[in-house]
Amino acid sequence: MTTALITGASSGLGAEFARQLAAKGADLVLVARDREALEQVAASVRDRFGVDVEVLPADLLDPTDRDRVVARVADAARPVEVLVNNAGFGLPLDFARNDVDDEVRHLGLHVEAPLRLMHAAYGPMLARGHGRIINVASVAGFIPRSTYGACKGWLISFSRWANDRYGAEGVTTTAVCPGFTHTSFHERMGLPPGEEGIPGWMWLDARAVVAEGLRDAARGKAVSVPSLRYRLLVGLAGLLPARITARVGERGR
């Protein structure tokens, strides 16, 4: 039976990955800071799909907690076949006025934590000759968008390289790059629904984002941009001058 470990699994895209992977028969290891929220997701998934669910509360910015998750990923006796790096948070886009320690934590969660978890995963996956890593990035990784875009750009670039390097050995790596998606992510930043300044047609449904991301990962694609409209926008962004895409990147939070 396949086991999938998902970070940031207590809500939003993480919880949706849990539901859709469980629907495919995968057992789960759910990671997030909030034990109570994790237990709620776990109970719902167990009742609905009948899979085994392990709850692993951890703050990936705490070295001790992070090391426990790394050890679970690396445990060859309890193999993790699918790793979903989803945990994250957002900051205001004004880097110069943000608290630098907040920026360092932001970098740690979006880059260092997935780097460590991927490093732990590749060893046993390559030894078995199969495995799948899904990094939840963003279309922000294709445009200048403060440190959030930079972090997601790193995930995209690394996923492309890793998929090419290790895909032939049976271990694929996919960066899933959604646009604006209806989850609790923006509300946690203090922005109620409707206050993003983003037109309705640009919003995606979390279920569709995860479904397309999982399909692309199963096909071995290095980069998945859910929805035709965002694929077109990403293509257009590659043709425009940086000063224009930077202005576009200032929209929303």
Q: Is 148 a catalytic residue?
A: yes
- Please pick, among 122, 148, 166, 230, the residue that the annotation labels catalytic: 148
Beta-carbon contacts of residue 185 (< 8 Å; ≥ 6 apart) = 12, 88, 89, 90
Q: Where are the domains of the chain?
A: 3-249
Q: What is the pLDDT of residue 66?
A: 98
Query: Does position 192 have pLDDT exceeding 80, yes or no?
Result: no
Q: How far apart are CA 231 and CA 220, in angstroms?
A: 18
- Residue 202: its pLDDT value, please? 67
Q: Which of 72, 158, 149 is nearest to 117 (CA)?
A: 72
Using pLDDT thresholds of 50, 70 and 90, give the confidence band for residue 79.
very high
Q: What are the angstrom distances between the C-alpha of 174 and each of 85, 101, 153, 168, 241? A: 10, 29, 13, 14, 27
**What is the CATH topology of the domain spanning 3-249?**
Rossmann fold (3.40.50)
Q: Which two tokens stand for residue 215?
A: 């399909």
**Mean pLDDT rounded to a whole number for the chain:** 89
pLDDT average, residue stretch 184-200:
53
pLDDT tens readout for residues 10-62 = 999 999 999 999 999 999 999 999 999 999 999 999 999 999 999 999 999 99
CB-CB contact of 178 with 13 (8 Å): yes
